[in-house]
Chains A and B, each alone.
Chain A
Amino acid sequence: MALLIEQAVNGLQLSMLLFLISSGLALTFGMMQVVNLAHGSLYMLGAFIGLAAHAASGSFVLGLAAGALATALCGLVLEQMLFKPLYPRGFHAQALMTFGLIFFFDELVQIIWGADIKSLTVPAALDGTTLIGGATVSLYRLFLIGCGLLLALVLAGVFTGTRLGAVIRACVDDREAAESLGLQVPRVFTLVFVVGAALAGAAGFLAVPLFTAFTGMGNDTLILALVVVVLGGMRSVLGAFVGSLVVGFSLSIGQILIAGYANAVVYVVLAIVLLVRPAGLIGGEAR
């Protein structure tokens, strides 16, 4: 029984970490329909800048804040300078541009911070393990579950309960109608992009105690995030949440059953889901 609980917790913490990472992509790729392959690079930047801030201040919270803010700023600059001219040019142009950004940021990180792998010791308050129903669970992983659930609640609350959320949904659902109603669609999109970038950066920093930070760390993560967003359904954050759970548990169960091919399980699940529901699990009508 304890084993089952522990594996369930493993699946849940991986899902929540994936949600933290892919929520930003759900916002930009899913809702704004903007191809941002540099999402993994923002994840990496958040980790490195957060690490630098932590090294300077000794504070985990400051590191997290710095990582998120720095990537938010970076997202703002990228959106205004590079994405804006390419919105009307469609997927291919955006994909090419952001693909180039991946190389740019990989090299930049290596130039600034070197090729060494960096890590972060878990903050003392979150160090150690605890017992849940007889199962030993790492405190830091519990913390990540908490963060993911909190984020899900906040995003759900904003999108369903606030005017801003309604405005964003309106701009995403029908851009022309929103504009004709006087809504500042470009500003809204910039805001969504910046928030998406900040979430990616925060996830990058939070993942460091588990996965370390190194050049190119965002590339595998990007692929998983894309799978999550596509599998869950592109139009909503709820889709990303569901997608994260499915991918997270697929990976976890895959690791237990056929460890050498755990990733294959994810893609098999993706294929099956898309065959049955081409727009994703919570996709609604494909547009």
Chain B
Amino acid sequence: MARIPAFSSRLKSRILAAGAVACFGIATPALAQDIKIGTVIGFSGLFGAYGNPLFETFKMALEESGGQAAGRKITIIKEDDKTDPKYAIQLVRRYIQDDKVDFLLGPVYTPIAAAIRDDVHRGKTFLIVPLAGDDGITREMCSPYIVRTSFSSWQQNVSLGDYVAKNVGKRAALVTSNFAAAHQQSAAFLETFKAGGGEVILHERPALGTADYAAILTNIRARQDSIDVVYAFLIGPPVAAFTNQWAQSGLREKIKLVGVIPMADEFWFPGQKDNALGIIGGGPYAAGALDTPANNAFVARFQRKFNRAPTSTEVGGYDAGKLLISVIEQVKGNLKDKAAIRRAFSNAEINSPRGYFKIDPKTGNVINNIYITRVVKRNGVLTHELIQTYEKVRDPGTGCKMSAP
């Protein structure tokens, strides 16, 4: 009994000393702890075609800053959300509760954004959306923790609708896939198209994945004397199939084909070949249309790595990376003040390849120019030429009731 007090007091002081050293030792790594990003992106299947390239450009943007910001290294937890909303919700919960990520990157597929919105908002974890274009994400579903670097469906189409009504033709036939995103996109187009005096002669809604458009093209041909322009919005391989069948139908001579730029861009050119020539597009980015130092540098770097020019999908990923770096640097690596991070998003000035870029403090959506383009051939390569620019197009954010974090 007598030995214990002596033993324990020496032990106590040793333990205290060891504890002090340990605390000091633990404290230092904590300051330089990595910043964790969790991906909510589909890397396989149909949408993997978009998810993979934009993730690569996201990483490209991080590499340009040496993979770090404000002295803290950025690590990415790369998981596939399998383009499945049920799976994505579990993934996001894991990221927030277990992995304690600082930022989330994604999604590509719009229904996933709706599915994870509440977990993101309640979990007070910032989500950077690099692609999913559903208007609702920055309207009724908006949250101080959600920002988007791609576009809203509305943004992409309103400028195009206005341009087409004023410069191409006032009588349109629409061919849009029968699903929610397509309805949204065509509704936005029609908003300004009709305001500019346009009218809809025909609106076909083929099922998603339809390969043969012969019947629809025949319908258009039956009314070709009363149609000036065809607006198309399709998803996947049918984009190329429709373009080729359109060219084969002989209707090209009389009727112009228009659509958002991703209906005829570098992603589809190998499948469309010269059938894409002359298609008029609208959207926030086209590699060949913007002759600026920032864009030329980005295109050159991308071309070296991937052997083709980048599309707006890849710019969405790249700008997400640059935005993240800017935000972390603005708050000097201190991620505890959420309000400060929110302000940093709205104040960020990144040198985006697309030109003007600002996150709208009211909605979290990007404000940028919308370019009207035409597919042309330069030096034997299909690319876009710029016809007109609509400056600083901003989504109205109807229904967004956001309060500061």
Report A's interface with B, CB cutoff 8 A: 3, 6-7, 10, 13-14, 115-119, 121-122, 127-129, 136, 138, 140-141, 209-212, 214, 217, 220, 251-252, 255-256, 259-263
> Is residue B13 contacting chain A, with contact meaning CB distance below 8 A?
no
Q: Which of B207, B214, B271 sits near A261, CB closer than 8 Å?
A: B207
Which of B207, B221, B241 lies in contact with A263, CB distance below 8 A? B207
Q: Which among B48, B49, B178, B274 is the interface contact of A260 at CB below 8 angstroms?
A: B178
B221 near A259 with CB under 8 A, answer: no
Question: Closest Cβ of chain B: how far from A115's Cβ, in Å?
Answer: 6
Distance of A50 Cα from B19 Cα, bound (Å): 72
User: When chains A and B are docked, how far (Å) is the Cα of A136 from the Cα of B251?
Assistant: 10
Q: B218 near A119 (CB under 8 angstroms)? A: no
Binding site for A on B (CB under 8 A): 48-49, 178, 204-207, 209-212, 214-216, 218-219, 221-222, 237, 240-241, 244-245, 248-250, 268, 270-275
A211 touches B218 (CB 8 A): no
**Contact call A259/B205, Cβ cutoff below 8 A:** yes
How many angstroms from the CA of A152 to the CA of B250 in the assembled complex? 29
Given contacts A3-B222, A214-B237, A259-B204, contact A119 B215 (CB under 8 A): no
- Contact in complex: A119, B216 (CB < 8 Å): no
Pair B244/A220 contact, Cβ less than 8 Å: no
27 A–B pairs (Cβ distance < 8 Å), ordered by A: A3-B222, A7-B215, A10-B214, A115-B48, A115-B49, A116-B271, A117-B270, A118-B271, A119-B244, A119-B270, A138-B248, A138-B249, A209-B244, A210-B211, A210-B212, A211-B237, A212-B240, A214-B237, A251-B212, A255-B210, A255-B214, A256-B218, A256-B219, A259-B205, A259-B206, A259-B207, A261-B207
A212 touches B219 (CB 8 A): no
Residues of B within 8 A of A14 (CB): 212, 214
Closest chain-A Cβ to B266's Cβ sits at a distance in Å of: 10
Most buried by A among B178, B218, B245, B268: B218
Contact check: which of A7, A140, A217 meets B237 at CB < 8 Å? A217
Contact of B218 among A6, A117, A217, A220 (CB under 8 A): A6
Chain A positions within 8 Å of B49 at CB level: 115
| B218 A3 Cβ-Cβ under 8 A | yes
